Amino acid sequence: MNYNSFNTPVSLRQMKITDVFWKKEMELVRNEVIPYQWEALNDRVEGASPSFCMRNFKIAGKMNQEKAQKGDKYVEPQYSFRGFEALPEDPNHLEEKFYGFVFQDSDFSKWIEAVGYSLTQHPDPALEKIADEAIDIVCGAQQEDGYLDTYYIINGKDKIFSNLRDHHELYCFGHLTEGAVAYYEATGKDKLLEAAKRFANYIYNYFGEEEEKCKGYPGHEIAEMALVRLYEVTGNRKYLDLSSFFIEQRGTKPYYFDSENHPDQTRKEENHLKYSYHQAHLPVREQKEAVGHAVRAVYLYSGMADLARLNEDKSMYEACESLWEDMVEKKMYITGGIGSTHMGEAFSFAFDLPNDTAYAETCASIGLVFFARRMLEIKPKAKYADVMERALYNGVLSGMALDGKSFFYVNPLEVNPIACYKDERKHHVKPIRQKWFGCACCPPNLARLLSSIGSYAFTESEKTLFVHLYMGACLTKKIGNQDIEVTIQSKFPWEGHVAISVRAKDTDFELALRIPGWCNGYQISDLEQFEIRKEDGYLYLKKNWLEEEHIQISFQMEPVLVAARTEVRETVGKVALMRGPIVYCLEEVDNGKDLHLLSVEATKSITLIDKKIEHESVKAITAFGKRTLKTEENGLYQPFKEKQSKEVCLTYVPYYVWANRGENEMQVWTRVE
Amino acid sequence: MNYNSFNTPVSLRQMKITDVFWKKEMELVRNEVIPYQWEALNDRVEGASPSFCMRNFKIAGKMNQEKAQKGDKYVEPQYSFRGFEALPEDPNHLEEKFYGFVFQDSDFSKWIEAVGYSLTQHPDPALEKIADEAIDIVCGAQQEDGYLDTYYIINGKDKIFSNLRDHHELYCFGHLTEGAVAYYEATGKDKLLEAAKRFANYIYNYFGEEEEKCKGYPGHEIAEMALVRLYEVTGNRKYLDLSSFFIEQRGTKPYYFDSENHPDQTRKEENHLKYSYHQAHLPVREQKEAVGHAVRAVYLYSGMADLARLNEDKSMYEACESLWEDMVEKKMYITGGIGSTHMGEAFSFAFDLPNDTAYAETCASIGLVFFARRMLEIKPKAKYADVMERALYNGVLSGMALDGKSFFYVNPLEVNPIACYKDERKHHVKPIRQKWFGCACCPPNLARLLSSIGSYAFTESEKTLFVHLYMGACLTKKIGNQDIEVTIQSKFPWEGHVAISVRAKDTDFELALRIPGWCNGYQISDLEQFEIRKEDGYLYLKKNWLEEEHIQISFQMEPVLVAARTEVRETVGKVALMRGPIVYCLEEVDNGKDLHLLSVEATKSITLIDKKIEHESVKAITAFGKRTLKTEENGLYQPFKEKQSKEVCLTYVPYYVWANRGENEMQVWTRVE
């Protein structure tokens, strides 16, 4: 481990994203998702089932006030602990109690996190005022002792931390902390950060190695990485220690979750998902295979990578590397989708990557991006950035419609709409994006990722700026006492040209450029003027910088037919089409019904064309293909005749834009002639 | 409708099956299945969970005696109605109550039915004695009023017929009746038949069109066809009327099942399977598509076909025809498997025939055979017999191991064993046959079908003997007062030669021979001597019969590569191999691992070879094929290179013998070059 290579994200306040492609996504989040989400948090979206999120905080706050006023005379109300409190039959007569999922608090936290990031790129006093008021409401619910989870505040605090496996308290804490740090870093306002710290202190006093402390850990991971962020922003080592405790404790025997009394005892003891679903089947350093609920898994691995870096922990990094390799070499779709089965929203076994029943949750690809960026922070290897880029341009972006108004949880690689309605095995697959979800996980997760996208593109160490993704941006960086400036212009992902200007005179600034794995060749202007080092797919450039230097880069970006390893049964005899980081697919709207009857001719030419999908200008691709002629004879089964087909022109569009032109068939993998 | 063509099965007592192929299956049933099943019914199979079947009958009988002794002082015990009463923790301390599934009584009925058929072909006084004693026990449980279902006799008769949807009372009655008729026809003993009649009378008085009677119908069909058999053996028209009532009542509004109070209210109202699962979504004459639980469906359709024939009901026949066409032209595997989804063990939508997640329950193929035979009885069309034959030689027989000791419920067309263990979506698929099942449906159903196989091969009308399946047998038939004799010798399914001798001098006997749909040409000796008529795929032969006539037939039986309609997405670009009625498959044991990497060369020669699988002599087939070479590069996704493959010899074995040589991969559909 070369600790000198450690690097961390460039602060969003040190950059302005100017990229055409990503700026548009950020603006969608700012203009569509964040306002919509605020309405949703306040139960004001017509036709959508209420969130109850802000309502729960208000009720908890009101209970706090009553308690303060009545003192000893205050009697805690008694409610049930059912994990999900549904709307009563008459929605106009709500009781003063908790409604919604146990993790409903996190909806606010994800929103405030996205708001924070957005404010760094686009100051908006009106939005900031709404956010401040929301923070007041949330902080009003916090208990004197620091505890802050409305489900238990409202239902009775005697039960707190009694069901870590299922009840998401530590998950809500994690999101609260992520949101608080983001908002503090964006605005400098620390009210929510202070609340998160007080809750973190409470948790620190409750859990830990000391004999009297609870030995539990989160059922749904995220607190691990959130505590690291809290440590990094506060410098208080105990938050790092608590994260370490949660991570090291996980999967040790006797299994902590077995000591809990779970109201739902229907989960079968024999169920092999029982522990692995939570990545709690083995101590984390012994885990070599990515298993269980995919989102939880990558959240855990992200926390592990954080610890590996901060504790300079070689064996933890090796554990992360094993899990990484298992995941990206055996269990990842070409789109960067992970978690191929809807049973437990989980990883399936190695190379089991069915296209039509895929789960590939948007949040899981987002978590994969988290993990990848953290692996890059430890050691900048292009292989991590390649996967991060793959997920971002494909399996993540496909989660949101081009108008930012509807969303996919599940990102299949092949869809026949009729199957989504008529085949119960595919009920999780939707042929068209949905407005919003009762369980609001993917849309707000997209919002927080997209509005902080710059921190995935660029990281820095003392003297080096790492460009992981070629995203248009203006960045500043301190080298000693000097401010240097780097400006990047790019038309990624549609063109491979990048222009970089550097103002770093009289510094020993180093520019580290990723050479994408998909790129067969590249040119850099005046390369001979630099002192060059190439390592792990990065090109490190140094020189005596003049006042302003201009660098031109051109990455080859040809359409390429791609095959999966022969172990992947579902894609044998089939190919996908990629160009640069973009995975392409066929849609019915361009290619007619029955996409399964199409094949692509590998030896013939492939042409790039410009196409508008809604208002999105994309590069589409046309290729020679064949369409198997339909059966003419009667009879479900007939003697095979020499293949009958006709020549057709196949039109491929980027995977992330699919299902923006109505409900239709789609497929990524097509038979090859 | 040509009512003159109606025909009915030749009685098993009028035939001796001599066929090498089927006799062996019947002997397995007689020597293995029936004795094993008797042990199972009496909870004497080590390692298997107890059936409780005979025990339940005994307890019910004992309660009857106590009641008779105590008269008015008798107090009914109170037990629960949970649908399934599992073994208590200590199996040595059973209470005197009902244990097992609600339909446990039917285990006896299926057994006695198989015993009856078996006795016609192989008299066995010892077995008959056991059967008679079992009948005594069962009849001892019957109530004075005729009611006979131990679940309600033991748990409290006030609840009878209160949950027709789920509780299988009428299903148990149906099986009891089928068993009683079979045993009566085999032995002439009518004790069980009388019990069935008394129960039928009870049901007749309970259900019907009259205002005061219950308007319900069976949740799991079978009573419909059983009542027809009872009518045919007794001549009592009311049993036919009751069958008509059940069938016509089904699916009418308001839905009867909605009027029941079901303890399990978790079934969602929106669930589209709610009514169609039971084929109760529409009145049967309006049903055009095969839907819902596949076994229930074909049992219903069999009853409908019986009624169409006996009531000379044209529109009912048309409804049967619509359902038949929908099922066999859109929803049937090449093996004769039906019900392609495990969700509800049900039909999926048209052309949705996935190979690796198939359900294709053995019992559903058996039910398809029932339905096909009944359609043949109405109108002898070769298309019905083609499907019947396809199911029998493939999807039915695959249900039983070659030693008769283990069984498949689920008959997939593609298996990768690791997926059965590691992928929860395929947990219903087993890579190896199982010993016996808690829910003993398929093995005893196989036993009753195989031991009565002759009644599917041969039916008769007044002067005509129909040969639907070319099965070695000696048959007698009355023409007027005269006994004629027909002897058939065949080496089906391995050779297409059939020798038939007829002793029908001085009669106007007619022989009707099915020309199999798979047959491209045939020869019949001295065909010119006959008066010939060809209709619906049958060749009707008449002549002035001499004392003994010999007819030689030779059906062409070439290996043929078969394709499915282009609508079947899962088989596009793939072919299966058939020869005669036999569907072939590739197994790992012959072809190595990773069957998905194999392809077959359509233009090259295909060779028949002799092969022994266990003790079974079969015709195997070798063909030229290619094996895609394994990926050498690292990386899950790589630029596509021209296909790299090597020539291999593919060895195909009959589908029904798969999984008899240990756990291994199997596939029916292979990519074609």
More confident residue, B527 or A517: A517
- Whether A50 has a pLDDT exceeding 90, the answer reads no
Q: Has residue B164 been placed in a domain?
A: no
Shared domain check, B638 and B540 = no
- Whether B404 has a pLDDT exceeding 70, the answer reads yes
Three-class secondary structure of residue B425 per DSSP: helix
Given an 8 Å threshold on Cβ–Cβ distance, is B330 in contact with A423? no
Q: What is the pLDDT of residues B612-657, one digit of tens each?
A: 999 899 999 999 999 999 988 789 999 998 878 999 999 999 999 9
Nearest to A322 by CA among A341, A336, A306, A301: A301
| pLDDT of A266 | 47
How buried is B518 (Cβ within 10 angstroms: 0-12 exposed, 13-18 middle, 19+ buried)?
buried
Residues paired with A554 in a beta bridge: A497, A523
Shared domain check, A175 and A34 = yes
Q: What is the pLDDT of residues A78-117, one digit of tens each?
A: 666 666 666 666 667 778 889 888 999 999 999 999 999 9
Shared domain check, B526 and B608 = no
Shared domain check, A191 and A67 = yes
- Whether A648 has a pLDDT exceeding 60, the answer reads yes
Task: Collect all residues with Cβ–Cβ distance below 8 Å to A415 and sequence separation of at least 6.
Answer: A356, A429, A431, A659, A665, A666, A667
- Of A67-71, A78-82, A282-286, B203-207, the range with the lowest mean pLDDT is A78-82
Which tokens go with A583? 């995975």
Q: Does B70 touch chain A (CB under 8 A)?
A: no
Task: Collect all residues with Cβ–Cβ distance below 8 Å to A368 and sequence separation of at least 6.
Answer: A298, A327, A332, A336, A338, A387, A388, A391, A395
- Of A232-236, A422-426, A436-440, B111-115, the range with the lowest mean pLDDT is A436-440
Q: What percent of chain A has pLDDT over 70?
A: 95
- If contacts are CB pairs under 8 Å, which of residues 4-33 in chain B contact chain A? none
Q: Does A270 touch chain B (CB under 8 A)?
A: no
Query: How far, CA to CA in Å, does B418 sit from each of A272, A348, B342, B399, B489?
Result: 14, 11, 19, 21, 44
Mutate to test the interface with A, among B276, B636, B668 (most CBs of A within 10 A): B636
Question: ipTM value of the model?
Answer: 0.93
* Chain A residues touching residue B563 (CB < 8 angstroms): 637-641
Q: Has residue A69 been placed in a domain?
A: yes
Given an 8 Å threshold on Cβ–Cβ distance, is B629 in contact with A573? no
Q: What is the pLDDT of residues B328-352, one digit of tens each?
A: 999 999 999 999 999 889 999 999 9
Three-class secondary structure of residue B476 per DSSP: strand
More confident residue, A272 or B20: B20
Name the CA radius of gyration of chain B, rounded: 26
Q: What is the pLDDT of residues B572-599, one digit of tens each?
A: 999 999 999 999 999 999 999 999 999 9
Q: Has residue B471 been placed in a domain?
A: yes
Shared domain check, A550 and A581 = no
* Chain B residues touching residue A672 (CB < 8 angstroms): 640, 643
Q: At A102, which amino acid appears?
A: V
Given an 8 Å threshold on Cβ–Cβ distance, is A634 in contact with B329? yes
Three-class secondary structure of residue A540 per DSSP: strand
| pLDDT of B273 | 64
Residue A496 Cα to chain centre, angstroms: 25
Shared domain check, A405 and A295 = yes
Please tell me which residue of chain A has the smallest CA distance to B633: A565
Given an 8 Å threshold on Cβ–Cβ distance, is B564 in contact with A637? yes
Shared domain check, A493 and A631 = no
- If contacts are CB pairs under 8 Å, which of residues 381-420 in chain A contact chain B? 416, 418-419
| pLDDT of A85 | 66
- Whether B246 has a pLDDT exceeding 60, the answer reads yes
| pLDDT of B270 | 47
Residue among B334, B342, B635 whose CB faces A637 most closely: B334
Q: How many residues does chain B have?
A: 673
Given an 8 Å threshold on Cβ–Cβ distance, is B634 in contact with A599? no
User: What rounded mean pLDDT belongs to chain A?
Assistant: 93
The answer to whether B2 and B315 have CB atoms below 8 angstroms apart is: no
Split at pLDDT 50, 70, 90, the class of A471 is: very high
* Catalytic choice (B172, B420, B441, B519): B441
Shared domain check, B665 and B564 = yes
Q: Has residue B530 been placed in a domain?
A: yes
Identify the sign of the CA torsion B354, B356, B359, B362. positive
Q: What is the pLDDT of residues A498-553, one digit of tens each?
A: 999 999 999 999 999 999 999 999 999 988 999 999 999 999 999 999 999 999 99
Phi/psi for B51 (5° steps) reads -85, -40
Residue B477 belongs to domain with CATH number: 2.60.40
Q: Does B481 touch chain A (CB under 8 A)?
A: no
Q: Which of B493, B525, B555 is the last residue of a domain?
A: B555
Q: At A248, which amino acid appears?
A: E
* Catalytic choice (B113, B178, B345, B361): B345
Given an 8 Å threshold on Cβ–Cβ distance, is A642 in contact with B273? no
Q: What is the pLDDT of residues A198-214, one digit of tens each?
A: 999 999 999 999 999 99
Q: Does A368 touch chain B (CB under 8 A)?
A: no
Q: Has residue A181 been placed in a domain?
A: yes
Q: Is A224 a catalytic residue?
A: no
How buried is A603 (Cβ within 10 angstroms: 0-12 exposed, 13-18 middle, 19+ buried)?
exposed
Q: What is the pLDDT of residues B348-381, one digit of tens each?
A: 999 999 999 999 999 999 999 999 999 999 999 9
* Chain A residues touching residue B631 (CB < 8 angstroms): 565-567
C-alpha B484/C-alpha A539 separation (Å) is 95
Bond prior to B254 in cis (omega within 30° of 0): yes
Q: Is B325 a catalytic residue?
A: no
Split at pLDDT 50, 70, 90, the class of B268 is: very low
Average pLDDT over residues B81-106: 77
Task: Collect all residues with Cβ–Cβ distance below 8 Å to A235 and sequence separation of at least 6.
Answer: none
Q: What is the DSSP string of A10-75?
A: PPGGGEEE--HHHHHHHHHIIIIIHHHHHHHHTT--TTSPP--HHHHHHHHHHHHHHHHHHGGG--
| pLDDT of B269 | 47
User: What rounded mean pLDDT belongs to chain B?
Assistant: 93
* Chain B residues touching residue A425 (CB < 8 angstroms): 341-343, 357, 425
Nearest to A615 by CA among A654, A657, A656: A657
Split at pLDDT 50, 70, 90, the class of B78 is: low
Task: Collect all residues with Cβ–Cβ distance below 8 Å to A109 and sequence separation of at least 6.
Answer: A172, A175, A176, A178, A179, A180
| pLDDT of B264 | 59
- If contacts are CB pairs under 8 Å, which of residues 534-563 in chain B contact chain A? 560-563
Q: Has residue B535 been placed in a domain?
A: yes
Shared domain check, A564 and A547 = no
C-alpha B240/C-alpha B206 separation (Å) is 15
For residue A640, give its domain range: 559-672
Q: How many angstroms away from the CA of B541 is the closest CA of chain A? A: 28
Q: Which of B555, B590, B621 is the last residue of a domain?
A: B555
Shared domain check, A294 and A230 = no
Average pLDDT over residues B297-308: 98
Q: At A559, which amino acid appears?
A: P
C-alpha A537/C-alpha A515 separation (Å) is 6
Given an 8 Å threshold on Cβ–Cβ distance, is B640 in contact with A597? no
Three-class secondary structure of residue B224 per DSSP: helix
| pLDDT of A262 | 79
- Whether A614 has a pLDDT exceeding 50, the answer reads yes
Residue among A419, A597, A642 whose CB faces B572 most closely: A597
| pLDDT of A541 | 96
Q: Has residue A450 been placed in a domain?
A: no
| pLDDT of A545 | 95
Given an 8 Å threshold on Cβ–Cβ distance, is B561 in contact with A634? no
| pLDDT of B4 | 57
Shared domain check, A550 and A563 = no
Q: How many domains does chain A have?
A: 4
Residues paired with A541 in a beta bridge: A511, A532
b/e map of B3-41 (b: 16 or more CB within 10 Å)? eebbbbbbbbebbbbebebbbebbbbbbebbbebbbebb
The answer to whether B154 and B63 have CB atoms below 8 angstroms apart is: yes
Q: Which of B555, B587, B602 is the last residue of a domain?
A: B555
The one-character DSSP state at A346 is B
Shared domain check, A627 and A537 = no
Q: Does A634 touch chain B (CB under 8 A)?
A: yes
| pLDDT of A269 | 46
- Whether A1 has a pLDDT exceeding 60, the answer reads no
| pLDDT of A268 | 45
Mutate to test the interface with B, among A383, A637, A665 (most CBs of B within 10 A): A637
Phi/psi for A208 (5° steps) reads 155, 180
Split at pLDDT 50, 70, 90, the class of A402 is: very high
Average pLDDT over residues B292-306: 97
Q: How many angstroms away from the CA of A637 is the closest CA of chain B? A: 4
Strand pairing report for A510-514 and A464-467: parallel
